[in-house]
Chains A and B, each alone.
Chain A
C-alpha cells in the first residue's frame, strides 16, 4: 500500500468515526480491561524504576556527600554539601567544555558525511539500495573496541596515513596524528556514524521524489530544490540523527582513552577514573549529574529551536 493511500484511509476514518484513530480495537470491557495496561507496564517499569530512576536519585544524593575525617577510602556520608558542585566544576570546567566541543565537532562532521551518503542511498542507488543500507550498518557488527583499536593502528606514527601526510607536508617531520585531539574527534565521529545516517536516510526515503521534480518544474535550481524542499522535509531525521550522535559523543571516553593524550581528557574519562580508580564517588556523581543535566538542557533548547525553524 502506498503512503498516500494509507493517509487517505486514515482521513476517512477520522471523519466517519472520531474514536478510531485512538486505536481502540473494540468497546472496552470495564474493569478487567482497565487494569490490563498497568499489568503490562508493571514488570518493565519496575525494572526501569529500580535500576534506572532509583540509581539516578542515588547519584544525586551521592553528589552532596563528603568523606568524614579519618574515615576509610570509599566511605561517604550525606552532608548536603552543595559546594561539591562549585568545587568540582571549577576544577573540571575545561574538561566539560572540551567534551562538548569534541562532541559538537564530531556531530557536525558526522552530519557532513552522513547527509550526502544518505541522499545517495535514498535517491541515487537504484536496486543497490538495500545492499548499501546493509553496508552502512555492517561495520558495526565488529566490536566497537576493536574498531577503535584499529584506528589506533591506522593513525599510528609509523603507519601509512601519517607517512603520507608527512610526505605531502601536511604534517611536520615530527608531526603525529595518534594521541592528538583530531584523532579523538575522528574516532568519535566514526563511532556514532550509523546513528546519524539511518535516521536521515529514513526521513529522506519518505520524501516523494515528485516533490523535487515539482520544485524543478517551478524554476528551482538543483541547489534551491535541495535547500527549500529536500532539506526541510528531511529535517526530522537530521534532528534525530544529531541528537543520537551528540548525546553519546559527549559522554564518551573510550576514544579519548585509546586515541588521545592527557590533554584530550573528556568528562567520561574523569567520571570513570574518579569512580573506579580514585574511589571519589561524590566528584564522579557531581560530574555525572552535571553532564546529564547539561545534555538534557542542550537537547531541550535544540529541539525547541529546530521546532520553530520548521514552522518558519
Chain B
C-alpha cells in the first residue's frame, strides 16, 4: 500500500528519469567510443585509450572538414544574424505594406522539409550553372538560418518596454543615440541567442549541405561519407569536445545570469 502510494506520487519523476535515459544513451555511446582503441572502423569496443583525444587530427580529413564547418558556420551566422535582425526590427517596429507576405516568407522555410530546401536550391544552381562549393554552402546556410534569427530577435524586441525608448528620446537622445544606447544593448541577448541558434543549425546541417556542397567537405559530410566504411574515433573525439564546450558555456552563462539575479 505504502509502496503503491510512493509510486503514484513519484510516477512522473520515474518517467522523467527514463526519458532522460533515452535522451542520453546515444550521447553516452558517442562519448564512450571516443575512447575506443579501434582501428579504422569504430563499431565494436576494443579497449580504452586516450590516444584519439591526444591526437584528434590523426585520422585523414577530419580536421580540414571541421575547420571548413567552423568557417562556414561563422560566416553564415554573421550574415544571417545581420539580415535576420534587420528584418526582425522592421517587423516589430514598423507598419508597412506587404507585412503578410513578409511573414509568410519567413515562416515557409521553417515549414519546408530540408530535403526540399536542398533539392530546390540545387535545381536553381544547376539551372544557373553555378559551381558548387564553399560559396553555395554559405548561401544555403544563410537562407535557412535567417528565419530562425528573425523569430528569436523579434520575440526579444516584442518583450521590450517601448517606454524605455520614449524615455531616452525624452532625455535628449535622438533616434540613432536611442538605438545605439538603449535598444541595441537591450535586444543584444536576443541577437546573441539567434546567432547561437544559427551557428548550431549551420554546423550540424547535413541534408541541405549534401545537396549544395559539390566536392567541398564539412564535418557532418565527413561523418556521412565515412559511415559507409567506418567512422574514425577522432570524429567522436571532436563531437564530444564540441558537446562539452557547448554544455559548459551554457552552464556558465546560466551561472552568470542567476548570480546577477541573486545580487538584485
Contacts and interface: CB of A to CB of B under 8 A. Distances in A.
Main secondary structure of the interface of A (DSSP, over half): helix
Given A48-B146, A59-B120, A119-B12, A138 B115 contact: no
A130 B258 contact: yes
Contact of B90 (A40, A113, A243): A40
Interface of A: 20, 22-26, 34, 36-38, 40-41, 43-45, 47-49, 51-56, 58-59, 62, 113-114, 116-117, 119-121, 124, 130-131, 134-151, 153-154, 156, 190, 193, 243, 247-248, 250-254, 258, 267-268, 271-272, 275-276, 281, 284-285, 288, 291-292, 295-296, 299
Interface of B: 12-13, 15-16, 19-20, 22-27, 29-30, 33, 43, 83-84, 86-87, 89-90, 92-96, 102, 105-106, 108-109, 111-117, 119-124, 126-127, 139-140, 142-143, 146-147, 150, 162, 165-166, 169, 200, 204, 206-207, 210-211, 219-220, 223-224, 227, 231, 235-236, 239-240, 242-243, 246-247, 250-251, 254, 258
Given A268-B113, A268-B115, A143 B239 contact: yes
A41 to B, nearest CB: 5
Contact of A47 (B13, B116, B142, B243): B142
Contact of B254 (A134, A156, A292): A134
In the complex, the 5 A-B pairs of residues with the closest C-beta atoms, listed nearest first: A251-B113, A44-B83, A37-B94, A55-B120, A150-B26
A21 to B, nearest CB: 9
Contact of A59 (B19, B123, B139): B123
Contacts of B92: 23
Contact of A40 (B89, B95, B169): B89
Contacts of A36: 90, 94
A26 B240 CA distance: 50
Given A40-B86, A48-B105, A139-B26, 5 more contacts: A25-B169, A40-B87, A243-B111, A247-B112, A288-B119
